[in-house]
Structure formats: structure tokens, C-alpha cells
Amino acid sequence: MKLLQLREKHTSLFGHGYLCGHSNHLEPHLTVPRLQKHQLMEPMENLEQRMCLKHDKPLELFCCTDQFCICMVCTVLEHKSHDILPLKDEFEKQKVSLNQITTENRGMIEERQEKMNNVRQCLDISLSCAQREMNNGVVFFDAVLDVVQESMAQFRNDILKKQKATEKQADGLISELEQEIGQLEHREVKMGQLACSDDYLHALQSFNSLKITPNLKDWNQVSYRPTSFSGSVENAVVKLEHHYGAEETAESTRGVKETTTVKSAPQIVGVFVDYEQGLVSFYDVETAEHLYSFTNCAFSGKLYAFFSPGNRRSPLIINPVQKV
């Protein structure tokens, strides 16, 4: 008969006998006074590991002196003068330490969860700052899009590169924290199982390995701050000013004498001057055709008009502007 496959079965640790649920087998342990003292437990596997290897008796005592489980025969031989306790009593003693370690483990989990939330919050702030700064940059560069396309592309690349590095750092920290939390939660589950276990031998044998704190990083020494994007637009403006300065220098070296080609000789030429922008433009008043513009002019002081009629035979007439 395969006793472990029977539906209702019990195990007698006293004398390491095996009993099934059949009334002929179980009844003596329930009715005979001497057998009623035997401890009956739910069926379990690996009963061989619960036997003393030296004396082939159940391991039902704990030697406090040598710190391992022993049988009744051990108490009168190898452990005769040692401090001996029943397994349950020793388990109750160590359960206090188990509860303390469980509390410490939970504290480490909560500490790392708080750190992980802090990293995520910092990352959200960084993303928000990056987006806000990006929007400011887009507004600025859209206003002068024709002349600052290259500057805008460089600006975006710098922001994204910096933020990518920030995200990479945050992802690395979060990954480490999640891994350690997983280890601690797994340890917590094991401790919870031991705390609720009636299998004192297995609990005591497993407890030593759980006493050892996992090799974890000291996160108090790790700092993570939101990446600052402040001043990104200002730096871009400085670069743009340098760009304009170089353009103005190049323009000044070329002089102001320029030649242009038009479809037909204009009869009336309009002149538009924007002092602040350094712009002088010429138009055909009758056709509204733009003839030419001097840009990036560096004006200082008052401006005076100078006209040269060239070889014209007809008079050159200057008309005031009536309407702009």
C-alpha cells in the first residue's frame, strides 16, 4: 500500500511509524492510553530528513549549546550535559528575532519604495522642466525661424541629450531599487511562511539562512536630483547674438554698393528704412515689387538720404510718403 497516496492519512513521529486513515490503523492512537501520548501530524514529505542520522530516531529536541536539532537518544549520549529544549520552545524563542528581522526587512522595503518614488518624482519634474523649456525655446525660435533653424536644431539636441542622460540614470536607479525590493519581498514571504509554520524543524533549519541580510546598496549615500534646464534658452540667445555679430562683421566688410537686376526700370522707387532692425529696402511703387534690401546694417546717429541721378536727363523728384 502506498500510504502517501491515501486520502486521509496521519503521521506518527513517535517511533516514526506511518499511519493511514483506515480505522484499524488510526484507532489505536486514539483509544489506547499509551498511544494517545503520541504526536499525530498532517502527512508530510521528506520524513527521512526528520530522523537522527546517528540513532534513527525522530528529531524532536533542540540543543542550545550546539545549535542544532537532536533526538532523545542524543540527550543521553553526545549532548548529555548540554542545554536542551523542545523544538517548539526554541522556535518560540527565535520567533521574536524572526519578527524583528521581518520588521527590519519591511522597513528596508519601504525605504527603497520611498527612494524609488522620489526618483520617479524627480524624473517627472525633469520631464516637466524639459518640456517647459522646450516650449519656451520653440516660441522664441519660431519668431525668427528663417534665420535660426540651425540654432534651434542645436538647442533641441542639447536638451534631449541632457534629458536622455537623466532618464538613463533614473532608469538605472529604479531598476536597482526594483531588484532589491524583489529580493526583500521574497525574503519577507519566506519569513511570513516560517512565522505561520507548525513545522518547527523546517522553520529552525531555514531560519539561519534568513537571518543573513542580503547584500544591498546603502541608498542613503545615493542622491538624485531633477536635472536643471534653467538658462538653456538664454545660452541659445547668446550663441545667436554671436552668430549675428559674425554676420554683421562679414556684411560690413562687403560695403554697401550692390547691383541688382529688375524686369523693367521703375518710374517711382519707394525706400523703407527700419532703424532698429538695420534694414533698408527698395520697392517699385507702381508694381509693389521688392527690388532689393540691405540687411544687418549697423546704424549709429542720424540718417541722411543721398541720391545720385546718374546720367538721367529727366529730373529726379523726391515725393514724401503719404500713406504707409
Query: Is position 313 within any domain?
Result: no
pLDDT value of position 190: 84
Looking at the fold, whether 155 and 230 belong to one and the same domain comes out as yes
Looking at the fold, whether 71 and 108 belong to one and the same domain comes out as no
List the chain residues with pLDDT less than 50.
Answer: 1-22, 249-256
Domain extent, residue 188, equals: 89-245
Pairwise CA distance, residues 108 & 100, whole Å: 12
Number of residues written out for the chain: 324
Looking at the fold, whether 32 and 52 belong to one and the same domain comes out as yes
Query: Is position 252 within any domain?
Result: no
Give the CATH number, domain containing residue 36.
3.30.160.60
pLDDT value of position 146: 66
Looking at the fold, whether 109 and 212 belong to one and the same domain comes out as yes
**Residue 16 near residue 51, CB atoms below 8 Å:** yes
pLDDT digits (tens, 9 = 90+) for 92-145: 888 888 888 889 999 999 999 999 988 888 888 778 778 877 887 777 667 666
- Whole-model pTM: value is 0.36
pLDDT value of position 230: 78
Query: Is position 201 within any domain?
Result: yes
Query: Is position 321 within any domain?
Result: no
Looking at the fold, whether 104 and 132 belong to one and the same domain comes out as yes
Number of domains in the chain: 3
Domain-terminating residue out of 85, 116, 131: 85
Query: Is position 318 within any domain?
Result: no
Pairwise CA distance, residues 135 & 58, whole Å: 76
pLDDT value of position 127: 82
Looking at the fold, whether 76 and 14 belong to one and the same domain comes out as yes
Looking at the fold, whether 73 and 100 belong to one and the same domain comes out as no
pLDDT value of position 38: 60
Geometric angle at alpha carbon 285, from 317 and 295, rounded to 5°:
95
